[in-house]
Amino acid sequence: MKPTYKANLFALMLVLTQILGSKFIAPIIVSLGLSFPVLMVSTQILFLFVPTIIYFIVTKENVVDTLSLKKLPLKDILMVMVIALFCQPVAWFLSYTSGLFFPNKVAEVFKVVSGLPYMVLLFVMAVVPAVFEEITIRGIVLRGYKEKSILKAGLFTGLIFGMLHLNAQQFLYAAALGVLLAYLVRITGSIYSSILCHFLFNGFQVTMSKLVQVFAEMMNKDIAAAQSSAADIPIAAKLYTFFILAVLAAVFTTFIVMIIKKMRREKGPMLRVESSSLEEEKLNYLSRDYENINNDNYMDNPLNTPFILNIVIFILMMFLQNLSY
């Protein structure tokens, strides 16, 4: 089985697992009367971690190599921390843009969990997704794109990450974040870079949400009322907000691109060695199996059946969700 086909097939299985799991398994978990944090963690384990374990049992792949479990240098850690901070304005813009057309389910979740202690909220909304989502997408799926260019790997796995959320409002910024996280893993050679960035990204959102809640309570303001009134904001005000966020997103995207380029330049010698080794491996492979050149793993097209099915399922789910609103 070709690498990208296997990676996209695994991603398709993740999506189907989440859809079927939310339909048949999640209601059973809810009926057990578990708290919301336990419910959130349980679904992540069942729908992401368990498929990961099954994948390694079936494929017998090396866990360390597949997941890129490589130590992250201090300098890279600092770079990732800055990137995670600079991602926020970009995410605000993309989330705001999506919110003009689709309901914000993330905000609804935050309303439900707003009463939880900060550390519990941070663990459930930042730590758990950062670990389980990364080992699946930037671990197993991205590994299937190891023979593809960093741009192609980033774009395809980013789209997969966006679709994995099964939420139209989250798709744009999740896909953009997915592209960035793929770049970080490919440049640093370590999945810890994407786990750290993902955790800081979500953690910042959780922290800001908690601070807004505390501030509102101090001022005796009703957050729900404020949010409902925000829906009645005039179109001119919405366009003004859109413009401001677009400018901020453009500025901080420029900063992020500059940092990524700097990291690539510094990692240049290492990346060139890996690229040379890959080219040599390709030549050796082709020389051994020239007659079956059209079937070799290095010519597989990532726009394959599992990937297309992922797109179709995502569009169908979004259509059905919109009908329910």
- This prediction has a pTM of 0.88
In angstroms, the CA 115 to CA 315 distance is 34
pLDDT at 269: 59
> What distance in Å separates the CA atoms of residue 143 and residue 205, rounded to the nearest whole number?
28
Provide the residue ranges of all domains of the chain, joining segments of one domain with +.
3-269+298-324
Confidence at residue 178, expressed as pLDDT on a 0 to 100 scale: 97
Look up residue 235 and give its two tokens. 């179109």
- Sequence-distant (≥ 6) Cβ neighbours of residue 297 within 8 angstroms: 2, 3, 147, 285
For residues 138 and 191, is the Cβ–Cβ distance under 8 A?
yes
Contacts for 304 with CB less than 8 Å, ≥ 6 apart: 2, 4, 5, 8
Strand, helix or coil at 139? helix
* CA dihedral of residues 219, 224, 226, 227 (deg, nearest 10): 140
Q: How much is the pLDDT for 293?
A: 40
What is residue 84's predicted lDDT score, i.e. its pLDDT? 97
**Residue 263 to residue 257: CA distance in whole angstroms:** 10
Helix/strand/coil percent split, the chain, to 5: 85, 0, 15
pLDDT per position in the chain (325 positions), as tens? 899 999 999 999 999 999 999 888 888 888 888 888 898 899 999 999 999 999 999 999 999 999 999 999 999 999 999 999 999 999 999 999 998 888 877 767 777 777 789 999 999 999 999 999 999 999 999 999 999 999 999 999 999 999 999 999 899 999 999 999 999 999 999 999 999 999 999 999 999 888 877 776 677 655 544 444 445 677 888 888 999 999 999 999 999 999 999 999 988 755 655 554 455 544 444 444 444 444 445 578 999 999 999 999 999 998 887 776 5
Which among 88, 81, 66, 307 is positioned nearest to 194, based on CA atoms?
81
CA distances from residue 236 to 92, 244, 248 in whole angstroms, order as listed: 19, 12, 19
Q: Residue 191: name the closest of 260, 236, 130 by CA.
A: 130
Query: How far is the C-alpha of 178 from the C-alpha of 170, rounded, in Å?
Result: 12
